[in-house]
Structure 1
Amino acid sequence: MSWTAAQTRYDAMQYRRCGRSGLKLPLISLGLWHNFGDDTPHNRKRDIARTAFDLGITHFDLANNYGPRPGAAEQAFGELLRTDFAPYRDEMIISSKAGYEMWPGPYGEWGSRKYLIASCDQSLKRMGLDYVDIFYSHRFDPETPLEETMMALDQIVRSGRALYVGISSYNSKRTREAAAILKELGTPCLIHQPSYSMINRWVEDDGLLDTLDDLGIGSIAFSPLAQGMLTNKYLSSIPEGSRATQGKYLSSIPEGSRATQGKSLREQFLSEENLATIRELNAIAERRGQTLAQMALAWVLRHGRVTTALIGASRPEQVKDCVGAISNLDFTEAELKEIEATTVEADINLWAASAERKGPPRK
């Protein structure tokens, strides 16, 4: 039996213009970084994607290396496009990226024209698409001229492989340089994808948000829930005062969480200090009538400077909870001051504010 999307899918979701472009994105976007690889049953991926679209999430964010195995998320999403979403392609924004290692040898990662264009072609083949809506340079390459990387993005648009281009995890200085090159080429930079959350504030310290405002570039914040730390997942399963054998980190990490799967959330991030911060933030969220995840998303979206917040989900119920954030994006000055006094930089930015660092961990 074929699936039909909900008639009410546009009733509640809000959409925000991406920079100075004509494109609008939903306030919540769905990322397929985790939970769309070979280690997740296909039926669950389908249920998550259907739920998201039924709730007005039109933007689905992928990359060539998302899995596990690399390429698996795009392959799974391509199957969903064929079986479920084929009638809705023109209602969807589908993005992909290239920058991290995908195949052996000197042409399988970073920012050369050779790699970016070959990877884009592979992504289109895996998803069964003629084009993606947005294609990103996934990370700055310190050994390839920035002009070459940006010229490759320009060619990807001019050849019809993508409608727009973006960059991810570039610092403010490199963002200005990249945007200037793209503007001169005639393919403006649409969007920047940095990590950003209440406990990962590098974009503020770096001045990146000011840069994006100045250049008219939109933004999509990834890991706004700090890879699951800013949810209720770690509130009840890790008893206060319980410690690992080293006496430094908390134990009883929830089974199936990212910290137990060897993915991006490292166990050492769950320190006493970080978890105490999370418990205090949860108390603020409860007073606002929100879950911690909802407040964390609302905080990222609060001033309109961030176009959309990118979530991951392992169950459809998590998508529903996150979308609930858009019903209350307003904070009192007292709440913002309390959050500011409560939050501390948790040192969880794996992608480094410095675009000069070579070889940041895989995203």
Structure 2
Amino acid sequence: MTQLRPLGKSDIKLSPLGLGCWQFSKGNNPIGKYWSTLEDEDMKAIIQTSLDGGINWFDTAEIYGKGESERTLASTLDKLDVPFEDALIATKWWPLMRKAESITQTIHARMDALNQRPISLYQVHQPFSLSSVQRQMEEMASLIDKGLIQSVGVSNFSAKAMREAHAVLESYGIPLVSNQVKYSLLDRSIEKNGVLDAAKELGISIIAYSPLEQGLLTGKYHDDQELFKSLSGPRKYMGKYKGKQLEKTRSLIELMRDLASKYNVTISQVALNWMIHYHGETVFVIPGASKVKHAKENVGAMSFKLSDTELLQLSDEAWRVGK
């Protein structure tokens, strides 16, 4: 059975891995077109595989397909007859070109999109809004007071903005439970810019997205360097997927390959396992899954634990190749 851990200083208990649901956008709006459209049966199988493997929460957002990801997730959970308490939902308010009042004005639209499934975690998706952090947190506090959401988080907030959000909520007796940010073995920015230190100090969980660097940390591009030609979107033009930049990270992949062989797992599972254990219980991870095999790999990352020595070894090698 998967060992659950607390989300920040809340009573909410989550599996170390959740399922990122951006890929359920069905191609709606420019943000949703980042992913290929998935068939309903494929999404159903991905969600069921995630649940069977011990995942008990799903991360989505208003901006993912203009609510389509939320609607697809909720309707699929309903069709699978999954109790609310077995599939907790985290979603996000989109702040760009909006004022904080929009948080309360649009909450019922979010609830409708989720077919009235409870919102366990409501997050401000990014820091750019027409209102201050203080006003945003005041509106979030009102949602807590009305019982419309269970907890408050932020996403892509700097250490300074995160501390401000924490302080405002604390004045209402409410904890800021999370900051969702990009983080992986190869992207250690939050370890240098104060975000991780502040999170640990204040008891705020980190929710890490892009933990596999969009496939780079699976080793598949190192095994077949022609694969980058099949990439879609901006990744096709990123140097890290080819040539000298790709070779720069090969030693890390080979170390991960050795550990994968030792534990009879995959390279991606080693990467995810490092994420959920290196900082104790501070970091949660939300890999996506566009195929059932991806979902199976995700949940398999919770089936073992790298030793402290191995965790440190991976960290050191990732720092070295990342310079």
Fold shared per TM-score above 0.5: yes
Correspondence for 1:280 among 251, 254, 258: 251
Cross-structure match for 2:306: 329
Per-residue deviation, residues 56-115 of structure 1 (Å, max 9, x unmatched): 100100000113xx2211121121132113x42122210110125xxxxxxxx3552232
Query: Is 2:268 the partner of 1:293?
Result: yes
Secondary structure, counterpart of 1:308 in structure 2: strand
Query: Is 2:13 the partner of 1:15?
Result: no
Q: Supply the distance in 2 between the matched residues of 1:82 and 1:224 (Cα, whole angstroms).
A: 29
Q: Supply the distance in 2 between the matched residues of 1:343 and 1:88 (Cα, whole angstroms).
A: 43
Residue type at the aligned position of 2:40: H
Query: Is 2:13 the partner of 1:24?
Result: yes
Structure 2: gaps of 5 or more residues: 28-36
Residue 271 of structure 1: how far off its partner (Å): 4.3
Task: Provide closer, same or farther for how the CA distance between residues 145 and 91 of structure 1 changes in structure 2, counting only shifts above 3 A.
Answer: same
Cross-structure match for 1:195: 182
Query: Is 2:310 the partner of 1:340?
Result: no
Q: Supply the distance in 2 between the matched residues of 1:112 and 1:123 (Cα, whole angstroms).
A: 17
Task: Provide closer, same or farther for how the CA distance between residues 181 and 61 of structure 1 changes in structure 2, counting only shifts above 3 A.
Answer: same
Residue 134 of structure 1: how far off its partner (Å): 0.6
Correspondence for 2:85 among 85, 90, 96: 90
Relative to the length of structure 2, the TM-score reads: 0.87
The answer to whether the 8 A contact 1:231-1:293 is kept is yes
Secondary structure, counterpart of 1:96 in structure 2: strand
**Across the two proteins, how many residue pairs are aligned to each other?**
305
Cross-structure match for 1:134: 121
Secondary structure, counterpart of 2:171 in structure 1: helix
Per-residue deviation, residues 271-316 of structure 1 (Å, max 9, x unmatched): 4344224432221111112422112212222231533111101111
The answer to whether the 8 A contact 1:111-1:140 is kept is no
The answer to whether the 8 A contact 2:100-2:136 is kept is yes
Relative to the length of structure 1, the TM-score reads: 0.78
The answer to whether the 8 A contact 1:281-1:292 is kept is no
The answer to whether the 8 A contact 1:300-1:306 is kept is no
Correspondence for 1:211 among 198, 205, 223: 198
The answer to whether the 8 A contact 1:111-1:149 is kept is no
Residue type at the aligned position of 2:71: Q
Task: Provide closer, same or farther for how the CA distance between residues 334 and 73 of structure 1 changes in structure 2, counting only shifts above 3 A.
Answer: closer
Q: Supply the distance in 2 between the matched residues of 1:214 and 1:135 (Cα, whole angstroms).
A: 22
Secondary structure, counterpart of 2:151 in structure 1: strand
Cross-structure match for 2:292: 316
Q: Supply the distance in 1 between the matched residues of 2:148 and 2:245 (Cα, whole angstroms).
A: 43
Q: How does 1:57-68 map to 2 (within 5 A)?
A: 57-67=55-65
Q: Supply the distance in 1 between the matched residues of 2:103 and 2:129 (Cα, whole angstroms).
A: 15
Residue type at the aligned position of 1:20: K
Residue 143 of structure 1: how far off its partner (Å): 4.0
Residue 36 of structure 1: how far off its partner (Å): 4.4
Return 55-64 or 70-79, whichever deviates more: 70-79
Q: Supply the distance in 1 between the matched residues of 2:313 and 2:203 (Cα, whole angstroms).
A: 30
Q: How does 1:39-58 map to 2 (within 5 A)?
A: 39-58=37-56
Identity percentage of aligned residues? 27
Q: Supply the distance in 1 between the matched residues of 2:97 and 2:174 (Cα, whole angstroms).
A: 21
Residue type at the aligned position of 1:295: V
Correspondence for 2:237 among 246, 257, 267: 267
Residue type at the aligned position of 1:94: I
Q: Supply the distance in 2 between the matched residues of 1:194 and 1:188 (Cα, whole angstroms).
A: 18
Query: Is 2:163 the partner of 1:180?
Result: no
Residue 183 of structure 1: how far off its partner (Å): 0.6
Task: Provide closer, same or farther for how the CA distance between residues 279 and 35 of structure 1 changes in structure 2, counting only shifts above 3 A.
Answer: farther
Q: Supply the distance in 2 between the matched residues of 1:283 and 1:83 (Cα, whole angstroms).
A: 42
* RMSD across aligned positions (CA): 2.1
Secondary structure, counterpart of 1:166 in structure 2: strand
Return 24-33 or 119-128, whichever deviates more: 119-128
Cross-structure match for 1:357: none
Q: Supply the distance in 1 between the matched residues of 2:146 and 2:236 (Cα, whole angstroms).
A: 40
Secondary structure, counterpart of 1:342 in structure 2: helix
Moved segments of 4+, more than 3 Å: 333-336
Q: Supply the distance in 2 between the matched residues of 1:61 and 1:298 (Cα, whole angstroms).
A: 19
Return 110-119 or 213-222, whichever deviates more: 110-119
